Structure 1
Amino acid sequence: MSKHDRWSRLLQHLAENGRLEVEEAASVLEVSAATIRRDLDELAEQQLLVRTRGGAIAHGVSYELPLRYRSVHNAAEKRRIAEAVADQIGQGIVVGINGGTTTTEVARALIIRAAGDGAEQVAGTPAPSVTLVTNALNIASEAAVRPQIKLVLTGGVARPQTYELVGPLASGVMSDVALDVAILGVDGVDSRLGLMTHHEEEASISRLFAERAHRVIVAADSSKLGRRAFARICGLDRIDVLVTDSAASGEMIARLTDAGIEVISV
């Protein structure tokens, strides 16, 4: 197992449990305790966790795992969710999409489908089959080279944890566009408070996506359902469709359905 994979597993465990022990982690990852101690020391130097005697705890009360270490978690479920979300998107519409691992997979699915649509057109520069509005730098970098995608990137200040642009410059662009569909990734879906994320400025931009869209689709794996985070994006009444995986609890699906949301489980 590579160091990057070990770090991803260690940080994911911290995100889910708040703490970890060296001996337990060494057993699960099938490496020596000395290797785990070195990994934890290096992660602590990057301020990604706090070292304790015999292990580590999450850095801060509301722990946000950097995007580069989240991509391996629930990867298969996120790809299935992404395909199901892409099934909801027709040609020629304007799609807004925020940052995150699941929405990145959605963007990739849309890009692949748009490329296929473009291949069926006559020779020459294909007309854009999707207009994509995003504040995520990693999504924009993949879409920018695709002639079938008309890309609109918001301004703003980049957050290194998520590659998202936030702040007044991003808000300025969002106030001047209208979206057919907003596709939102979130850190939590609470039956009372609605959609939530770890960072207040990301919540603000995601809220603008929802407000500017005729239809809102949430892409969230089952680990996000019933979870709260620090900042509220919007209430459940603003959501039209939620796409999740088959591990979602029946009770949570029932609550969302009762709130008027179409739930698609894949």
Structure 2
Amino acid sequence: MSRYERWNALLELLAEQGKLEVEEAAEALDVSAATIRRDLDQLARQQMVTRTRGGAVAHNVSYDLPLRYKTARNADAKQRIGAAVAGLIAPGEVVGLNGGTTTTEVARALAVRPDLAERPENGPGRLLTIVTNALNIANELTVRPQVKIVLTGGVARPQSYELIGPLAGLVLNELTLDVTVLGVDALDAEHGATAHHEGEASVNRLLAERARRVVVAADSSKLGHRAFARICGLDRVATLVTDEGVSEELAAAFTEAGVQVIAV
């Protein structure tokens, strides 16, 4: 288990229990107590936990963990999903991308797709336009000469690197998109796509509304659940790209709702 995987596991244990003892955490993660103490000290320096004698208590930790601690979750599945979604994008399209670990993998897959790898010397211009509210995605793709990056503007949210608020809406209301790729916190046949944070959900909803088609990129752990704030109903979603862990029952429910399900 890597350091970031341990940190992620510790934060999730704290989110569930509120407090954690060093020996308890060491046994749960099968590492030494000294390793746990160092991990908790590092997390305390980042103001993610509050250290106590013999352990730590939750400090601003909830189910909505910062993006940098989510990257280890289902990494292989997210890379496969990212590659599959990238394959659905045609050169020349205007693509909306919200923030998240899965959409970041979509962006990376688009950046290395052979037919989008280099802009033709005498071609019509950039082969792809990405409209995003995710600072990390913009940062990764800005150096790609074949990609035009449009940032929505807004106030940066540290947990997800997403820009939220009315400034994002001012930009998005002036644009039209061919396809929006949404990363979600949950997707349910009855409640549709949802997010933990209402500000993110609001911008994500606009990204979906401005697009001709919407693709949801979500690993199977997000399916069959709902989060706090609604993004959009399934009537807005054309395609769901997920991993092979999706149950037949859930896949059938999404298909019955008119969503194409692609499991990779």
TM value normalised by structure 1: 0.88
- Checking the alignment, whether the CA contact within 8 Å between 1:126 and 1:148 is kept in structure 2 is no
Match of 1:257 among 231, 255, 258: 255
Residue 177 of structure 1 is matched in structure 2 by 175
Change in CA separation of 1:247 and 1:119 when aligned onto 2, cut-off 3 Å: same
Work out the CA distance in 2 between the residues paired with 1:243 and 1:170: 26
Among 144, 154, 157, the alignment partner of 2:155 is: 157
**Per the alignment, in what secondary structure is the counterpart of residue 205 of structure 2?**
helix
Structure 2: any 5+ residue segments left out of the alignment? none
Most deviating of 146-155 and 38-47: 38-47
Indicate conservation of the 8 Å contact 2:194/2:229, yes or no: yes
Helix, strand or coil at the partner of 1:246: coil
Q: Secondary structure at the match of 1:215?
A: strand
* In structure 2, C-alpha distance between the alignment counterparts of 1:125 and 1:28, rounded to whole Å: 57
Tell me, yes or no, if the aligned pair for 2:85 and 2:241 is still in contact at 8 Å: yes
List aligned pairs for 1:191-202, cutoff 5 A: 191-202=189-200
Percent identical:
62
Matched residue, 1:10: 10
Compute the RMSD of aligned alpha carbons.
2.6
Aligned partners of 2:180 and 2:213 also within 8 Å: yes
Question: Matched residues in 2 for 1:183 and 1:18: separation?
Answer: 34
2:239 paired with 1:218: no
Which residue of 1 is the match for residue 73 of structure 2? Answer: 73
1:221, 1:13 → 2: CA distance? Answer: 21
**In structure 2, distance between residues paired with 1:74 and 1:183:** 19
Which residue does the alignment assign to 1:230? Answer: 228
Q: Separation in 2 of the partners of 1:253 and 1:173?
A: 35
Given that 2:111 and 2:141 are in contact with CA atoms closer than 8 Å, whether structure 1 keeps it comes out as yes
- How does 1:53-202 map onto structure 2 within 5 Å? 63-113=63-113, 116-119=115-118, 121=120, 123=121, 127-202=125-200
Q: CA deviation at 1:124?
A: 6.3
Residues matched between the structures, number? 263
2: CA distance, partners of 1:228 / 1:49: 27
For structure 1, list consecutive stretches of 5 or more residues without a partner in the other structure: none
Q: How far apart are the structure 1 equivalents of 2:176 and 2:43?
A: 42
Alignment deviations for residues 70-107 of structure 1 (CA, whole Å, 9 cap, x no partner): 11110100000011101111111100000000000001
Question: Which has the higher mean CA deviation after the structures are superposed, 32-41 or 242-251?
Answer: 32-41
Which one-letter code corresponds to 2:72 in the other structure?
V
